[in-house]
């Protein structure tokens, strides 16, 4: 035992001795760095070579030897001797730095391991409650100080320990990091305290923000409300994040602008904040940050020499390594000393290289204050986070440098061809042809100013609050947002109240507000509140003129932008058909579907010329789209017969394939790129061809009633629609499908899959809402333009009031468009192809009569059973099964479900259309001539 105690004592004594020597070395090194520097600046960290007793040292003071070498009168005349002296000194300096860093590294490792041990103890108590009495005391103490944030203390300690073990010490940044951490943690604790309801007792503070959160949040709430305190705390946290990251608000804005691709249009003033002399002023005012990190690094003569490359066209560079050491920190700045020196002539290649590549070096001789500067100022070896430079910034620097350099004999560089300008031409509202003028929006009627609120809204708040109090639910109505049709009341729940308690009261709330069209939104997207949407007793009308003239609509110059209406928050809603890229519209009679179609057509007429957008209008009802007959945008007269509609959709498929062939030959991926090449002359007519390439216009095909087409020729129509919606986006062809009956036999699964954007007006049932939106909600709409818009990629639909337009406004816009140009119809759009339709499909063979009887039997009885076919048709099991398979391939019955009868997908009223599609017949009035 005595030997063990003696050994432990020796170990403790050695540890304390090592710690004492380390502290002394740090103090001596600090005092050495504070000495006025001379030509040997850069070797101050090697002053204490004999700090530890190392057998590799010969007992001589290295400083004396180096001083002698530096005081040699022949120093400048004997470069090899100087180089050998520098190499010997570098070797001894590396050995000394290794020995000096030993105690410091061990001390940091000891602190890091201690933090890890403390993290384990706190984690055992806070996370698992298994740390014993000491851990319980520490846990209680932590919770009393920082509250619920105590669960993150082990993570913070582990992170700090990792930083101590992996990174070298940096005393200059320590204070900044500590201050930034306090700026983040203290406001966060204050926020937690405010969110928890500002508790005052010890248990409440322990579950909230602790004593620190109480100390931060209580003064703020006492002097101001929570609506003021929360933004202040958030701003403090944001400032702490900026400080700890070394960024500025300008850096963040530049990064966001670069990520969004907005750097190409930056004005010249934006580059003035990053001129080279700004970096120079920072270096002169803060000399301690210059090369301070490199002074303590072990690879002073290795990695740092490769990290800091020689600047391009530097006339002051010397191949002697002694002339390229870091300058004296107390001496005059080398850049400031060379301010009056004129730079050497720089070639065009050097100018481009200096404009696109930043040189970070100590031997940069370019003067940032001279007008003839050709290189951007280098960044010091210990850089602050650099701001991303845009392409426009590099181009501006290049242009400035080229003007500043003396004229040199270089061949002229042709200006690059910018295709982007031509590619943007289809996206402008103004037509390329001056003969055609767009109908002005002054032809449309403007709406009344929106209402901000009324006494009925306050009455509704009282009624909803009464329901909550009646059922003893800890919740309160905190505000409302009034839209043109409905008002959304925001209800915030108390602690521990389930959202289901509010949603279960939907019928009671509807009873209290005296309406059955109450819609609950739990929660409101982006808010911690439940939304109760109640119809307004005084509805407002949304005019299309207000939507088209709104700033959110006018800022997008694409010709396919259409006005939709106004959402529940009072913001105007518009959409781009090119981004949808196809739209499915559904709604029962009187829901506002026809008004939306009219608003969409008028939007296109007021924003696009016939050279930009062409249309195919399919109107099986024969009266909905009649006012638009004769507009110059039409490819063919308005189609009213289902057979011709199917032929027009087939023509669209051929047009799509032709466009893809041209895009493939031109090696482009979108019709806009193809049009840009045509306008710029990059695409020429091949030799021997008489074809003249013209820019392709967008094509918008509008089907006013899809159900009529699906009843007459379901297979042909569905196949064409599916092919168009799958591939036509890049070809500039877009479909708008409208129907009053969104059932599964009209809006099939293939159509729904390929039409991602949906617009649902009031539907008659929950099933129809699920078909169009894949979720309930449309059955709760109140009609007359009240709709749910679900754009592509959105999870929640947007409730909006559709824009309204009168017949007089439609006539005024259409007449104006007709006065500008005559329609130019394309031949063969509605002509049925000769070989497209067969009398009998090849898989039917000689069983046509039996198949027709089976279809008539199954559809009339709405019972699809193989055994029934055996009995009724007196056929065997094999033939009955084959007939059932033929009916399944033609969409008459569903797939087999074992012993159960198959589902019949065709209604009795659609029987004639199905038989006509199988036999190759159809409407006798559907000739093959174009309309």
**Binding-site residue set:** 587-594
Instruction: Give the 3-state secondary structure of residue 902.
Output: strand
Q: What is the distance between the alpha carbons of residues 252 and 884, in angstroms, rounded to a whole number?
A: 65
Which burial class, exposed, middle or buried, applies to 616 when counting CB atoms under 10 A from its CB (0-12, 13-18, 19+)?
buried
Tokens of 388: 């991303």
Tell me the β-bridge partners of 490. Answer: 479, 531
Q: What b/e readout covers 424-435, taking b as 16+ CB neighbours within 10 angstroms? A: eebbebebeeee
Widest CA span of the chain, in angstroms?
Answer: 124
Question: Mind giving me the DSSP string for 275-330?
Answer: -HHHHHHHHHH-GGGSSHHHHT-TTTTTHHHHHSPPPTT-TT--SSGGGGSPPPSS
Nearest to 497 by CA among 527, 521, 473, 476: 473
- At a CB cut-off of 8 Å and minimum separation 6, what does 701 contact? 615, 616, 618, 648, 649, 652, 724, 733, 734, 735, 736
Count of C-beta atoms within a 10 Å radius of residue 737: 23
Q: What b/e readout covers 783-794, taking b as 16+ CB neighbours within 10 angstroms? A: bbbbbbbbbeee
Report whether 746 contacts 584 (CB < 8 A).
no
Nearest to 117 by CA among 134, 105, 103: 134
- Say what the alpha-carbon torsion angle 217, 219, 221, 223 is, to the nearest 10 degrees: -160
- DSSP designation for 546: H
Q: What is the distance between the alpha carbons of residues 316 and 305, in angstroms, rounded to a whole number?
A: 17
Query: Assign residue 47 a region: left if phi > 0, alpha if psi is -120 to 50, beta otherwise?
Result: alpha
Report whether 669 contacts 730 (CB < 8 A).
yes
Please give the distance of CA 267 from its chain centroid, rounded to a whole number: 24
Report whether 160 contacts 115 (CB < 8 A).
yes
User: What are the angstrom distances between the C-alpha of 100 and each of 20, 128, 137?
Assistant: 13, 42, 40
Instruction: Give the 3-state secondary structure of residue 735.
Output: strand
- At a CB cut-off of 8 Å and minimum separation 6, what does 504 contact? none
Peptide bond into 581 cis (omega under 30): yes
Which residue ranges are tagged as binding site for ATP?
587-594
Report whether 537 contacts 482 (CB < 8 A).
no
Report whether 633 contacts 610 (CB < 8 A).
yes
Tokens of 327: 């300058």
Nearest to 320 by CA among 382, 361, 363: 363
Q: What is the distance between the alpha carbons of residues 153 and 146, in angstroms, rounded to a whole number?
A: 9
Q: What is the torsional sign of CA 211, 215, 220, 223?
A: positive
Report whether 391 contacts 263 (CB < 8 A).
yes
Question: Mind giving me the DSSP string for 548-567?
Answer: HTSHHHHT---TTEEEEEEE
Question: Mind giving me the DSSP string for 157-192?
Answer: HHHHHHHHHHS---HHHHHHHHHHHHHHHHHHHHHH
């Amino acid at each position: 035992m005595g030997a063990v105690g003696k050994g432990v004592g020796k170990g403790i004594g050695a540890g304390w001795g090592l710690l004492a020597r380390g502290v002394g070395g740090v103090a001596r090194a600090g005092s050495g760095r504070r000495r006025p520097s001379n030509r040997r600046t850069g070797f101050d960290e090697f002053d204490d070579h004999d700090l530890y007793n190392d057998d590799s040292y010969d007992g001589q003071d290295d400083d004396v030897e180096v001083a002698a070498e530096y005081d040699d009168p022949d120093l400048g005349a004997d470069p090899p001797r100087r180089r050998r002296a520098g190499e010997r000194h570098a070797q001894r300096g590396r050995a000394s730095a290794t020995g000096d860093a030993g105690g410091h590294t061990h001390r940091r490792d000891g602190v890091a391991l201690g933090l890890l041990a403390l993290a384990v103890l706190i984690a055992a108590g806070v996370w698992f409650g298994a740390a014993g009495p000491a851990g319980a005391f520490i846990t209680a103490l932590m919770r009393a100080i920082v509250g619920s944030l105590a669960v993150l203390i082990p993570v913070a300690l582990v992170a700090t320990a990792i930083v101590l073990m992996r990174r070298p010490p940096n005393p200059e940044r320590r204070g900044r990091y500590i201050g930034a951490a306090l700026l983040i943690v203290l406001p966060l604790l204050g926020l937690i305290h405010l969110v928890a309801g500002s508790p005052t007792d010890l248990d409440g503070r322990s579950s909230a923000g602790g004593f620190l959160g109480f100390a931060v949040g209580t003064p703020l709430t006492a002097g101001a409300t929570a609506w003021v305190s929360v933004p202040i705390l958030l701003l403090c946290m944001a400032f702490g994040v900026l400080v700890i990251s070394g960024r500025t608000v300008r850096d963040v804005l530049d990064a966001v602008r670069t990520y969004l691709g907005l750097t190409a249009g930056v004005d010249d003033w934006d580059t003035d904040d990053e001129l080279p002399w700004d970096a120079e002023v920072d270096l002169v005012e803060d000399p301690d940050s210059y090369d301070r990190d490199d002074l303590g690094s072990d690879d002073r003569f290795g990695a740092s020499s490769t990290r800091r490359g020689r600047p391009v066209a530097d006339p002051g560079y010397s191949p002697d390594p002694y002339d390229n050491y870091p300058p004296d920190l107390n001496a005059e700045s080398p850049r400031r000393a060379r301010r009056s020196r004129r730079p050497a002539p720089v070639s065009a290649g050097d100018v481009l290289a200096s404009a696109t590549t930043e040189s970070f070096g100590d031997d940069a001789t370019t003067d940032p204050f001279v007008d003839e500067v050709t290189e951007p100022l280098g960044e010091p070896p210990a850089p602050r986070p650099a701001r991303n430079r845009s392409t426009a910034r590099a181009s501006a620097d290049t242009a400035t440098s080229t003007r500043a350099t003396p004229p040199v004999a270089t061949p002229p560089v042709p200006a690059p061809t910018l295709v982007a300008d031509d590619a943007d031409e289809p996206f402008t509202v103004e037509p390329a042809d001056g003969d055609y003028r767009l109908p002005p929006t002054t032809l449309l009627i403007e709406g009344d100013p929106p209402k901000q609120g009324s006494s009925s809204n306050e009455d509704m708040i009282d009624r909803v609050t009464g329901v909550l109090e009646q059922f003893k639910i800890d919740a309160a109505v905190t505000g409302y947002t009034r839209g043109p049709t409905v008002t959304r009341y925001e209800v915030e729940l108390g602690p521990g109240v389930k959202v289901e308690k509010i949603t279960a009261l939907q019928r009671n709330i509807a009873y209290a507000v005296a309406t059955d069209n109450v819609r609950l939104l739990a929660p409101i997207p982006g808010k911690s509140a439940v939304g109760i949407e109640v119809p307004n007793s005084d509805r407002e009308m949304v005019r299309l003129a207000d939507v088209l003239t709104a700033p959110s609509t006018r800022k997008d110059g694409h010709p396919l932008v259409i006005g939709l209406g106004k959402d529940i928050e009072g913001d105007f809603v518009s959409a781009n058909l090119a981004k949808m890229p196809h739209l499915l519209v559904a709604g029962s009679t009187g829901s506002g579907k026809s008004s939306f179609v009219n608003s969409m057509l008028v939007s296109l007429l007021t924003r696009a010329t016939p050279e930009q957008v062409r249309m195919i209008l399919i109107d099986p009802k024969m009266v909905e789209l009649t006012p638009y007959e004769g507009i110059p945008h039409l490819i063919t007269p308005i189609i009213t017969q289902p057979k011709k509609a199917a032929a027009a959709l087939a023509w669209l498929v051929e047009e799509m394939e032709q466009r893809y062939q041209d895009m493939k030959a031109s090696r482009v991926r979108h019709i806009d790129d193809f049009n840009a090449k045509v306008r710029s002359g990059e695409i020429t007519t091949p030799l021997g061809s008489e074809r003249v390439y013209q820019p392709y216009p967008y094509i918008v095909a509008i089907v006013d009633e899809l159900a009529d087409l699906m009843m007459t020729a379901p297979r042909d129509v569905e196949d064409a629609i599916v092919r168009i919606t799958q591939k036509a986006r890049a070809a500039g062809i877009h479909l708008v499908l409208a129907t009053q009956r969104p059932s599964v036999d009209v809006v099939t699964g293939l159509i729904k899959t390929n039409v991602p954007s949906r617009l649902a007006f009031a539907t008659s049932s929950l099933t129809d809402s699920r078909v169009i939106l894949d979720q309930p909600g449309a059955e709760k709409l109140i009609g007359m333009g009240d709709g749910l818009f679900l754009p592509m990629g959105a999870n929640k639909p947007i409730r909006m009031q559709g824009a309204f337009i009168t017949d007089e406004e439609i006539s005024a816009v259409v007449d104006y468009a007709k006065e500008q140009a005559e329609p130019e119809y394309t031949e063969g759009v509605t002509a049925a192809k000769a070989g497209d339709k067969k009398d009998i499909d090849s898989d039917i063979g000689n069983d046509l009569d039996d198949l027709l009887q089976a279809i008539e039997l199954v559809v009339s009885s709405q019972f699809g059973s193989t055994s029934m076919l055996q009995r009724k048709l007196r056929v065997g099991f094999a033939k009955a099964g084959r007939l059932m398979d033929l009916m399944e391939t033609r969409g008459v019955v569903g797939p087999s479900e074992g012993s159960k009868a198959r589902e019949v997908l065709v209604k009795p009223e659609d029987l004639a259309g199905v038989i006509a599609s199988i036999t190759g017949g159809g409407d006798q009035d559907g000739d093959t001539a174009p309309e």
